[in-house]
Structure 1
């Protein structure tokens, strides 16, 4: 009888086929769209191009999920944290 390993890192990140759930959903939408393309325009070129597109998308999504800092352009935290008011209005009396 086949035994399955219990997935215990659910708090860390839920993974399906090596992808997070959101990227897996994107992949499935692409697969369904590819099937629609194949059904409505059935040709050998369409089948091969859709297969190559899906393989490329899967490889790029797995690399993106393993290194998420690729598309991070802004800093997460500011350089300095201050409690100084950012307004130029002065409420104290001189």
Structure 2
């Protein structure tokens, strides 16, 4: 008789093949487009190129899923936090 483990991490994101659902959808759109390219192309080089593109896309998406801060360009919080009013008046 099989035993099933209770899923306790209900607050974690759903993952399909190691990708979040939105990235998995992007990967499936790329796969379907690649299949259309393969069906309508008669070149072996294009078929190999499409397969290499899909493999590279999957590797890039899995790395991005594990480290989402790769594309973070700016800091969210300021360096200095102050309660001092910023006015143009000089009291000195």
TM range (shorter): 0.7 to 0.9
Corresponding position: 1:12 with 2:15: no
Q: Deviations over 1:25-45 (max 9, x none)?
A: 111110011011011113211
Aligned residue pair count: 89
Cα distance change of structure 1 residues 35 and 66 upon mapping to structure 2, 3 Å threshold: same
Structure 1 Cα separation of the partners of residues 3 and 45 of structure 2: 41
For structure 1, the residue ranges without an aligned partner over 5 or more in a row are: 89-94
Any idea what SS the aligned residue of 1:58 has? helix
TM-superposed CA distance for 1:12, in Å, is 1.5
TM-superposed CA distance for 1:65, in Å, is 0.8
2:66 counterpart residue number: 66
For structure 2, the residue ranges without an aligned partner over 5 or more in a row are: none
Any idea what SS the aligned residue of 2:28 has? helix
Tell me the TM-score normalized by structure 2: 0.75
1:44 counterpart residue number: 44
Cα distance change of structure 1 residues 79 and 9 upon mapping to structure 2, 3 Å threshold: same
Q: Deviations over 1:45-85 (max 9, x none)?
A: 12111111100110111111111111001112233456677
Cα distance change of structure 1 residues 34 and 10 upon mapping to structure 2, 3 Å threshold: farther
